[in-house]
A = this chain, B = another copy of it.
Amino acid sequence: MSNELETVGCTHSLSNKALREQYRLAGFGGRVGWGERPAVLVIDMARAWVDTREQLGSDLGAVANEISRVLRIARAIHLPVFFTTMAYDPESEIGEVLKRKTPHCLTMVRGSGNVQLIGELKRRPGEALIEKPHASAFFGTNLLSILVGQGIDTVVVVGCSTSGCIRSTCESAFNYGMHAIVPRQAVGDRSPSAHETALFDIDNRFADVCEIGDVLAHLEQLRGSRGAVR
């Protein structure tokens, strides 16, 4: 992350109290809270996004560490966990609009190393891997049906990028009437200003942006409770 941008800051940020108040008065930014049956969605933690040598890549090591903490407790209490990646057959599945606006999609070749999940999150059998064609994990995939079929009413959304796939996934969850929780430290973006502005919009429009500690504490508290085991 460039220090310059971090120093300059951005007016469109959760740290801007006047802006938050303006949105509150306009009827945005309420707290939704948790529902009864959460699942964890790990978005796009694959090489294309986390390897700094890749076109889309940035250093998300700290984010991956926080995700591991979420996964540790989620697995301990048997919450459903879903991973996503993006993958195409470039010859037949990528149209002109997609290719022109976001040419990086041509590097996301189904079956290539580029789209494989990073090993460190240790995806387990029983944790679905969803190949999604667009930013939202719900668009053009079977994710919604799987969640509804399991009675999931809450998604904890982690991974990358905050301003792209995280924001879009939160919007879809909100549109479908689901609670969405974003532990701030467990999402990342190649652009600090994009990260900041997206967190503001996510928190005001779609999902509750929370401290990672609060999310872990809520999950801990589900241990042994009926909601966590199904």
Contact = CB atoms under 8 A, between A and B. Distances in A.
Contacts of A193: 10-12, 16, 19, 197
A183 to B, nearest CB: 17
B126 A12 contact: no
Given A10-B10, A139-B175, A205-B164, A126 B32 contact: no
A125 B93 CA distance: 11
Interface stretch (A63-71, A112-120, A142-150, A217-225): A142-150
A25 B97 contact: no
| Range of interface residues on A (Cβ < 8 Å) | 35 or more
B196 A12 contact: yes
B153 A33 contact: no
Nearest to A134: B175
Contact of A100 (B10, B33, B134, B191): B33
A126 B142 CA distance: 24
Interface of A: 5, 8-12, 16, 19, 22-23, 25-33, 35-36, 55-56, 80, 82, 89, 91-93, 95-105, 107, 125-129, 133-136, 139-142, 144-151, 153, 163-164, 168, 171, 174-179, 190-191, 193-194, 196-197, 201, 205-207
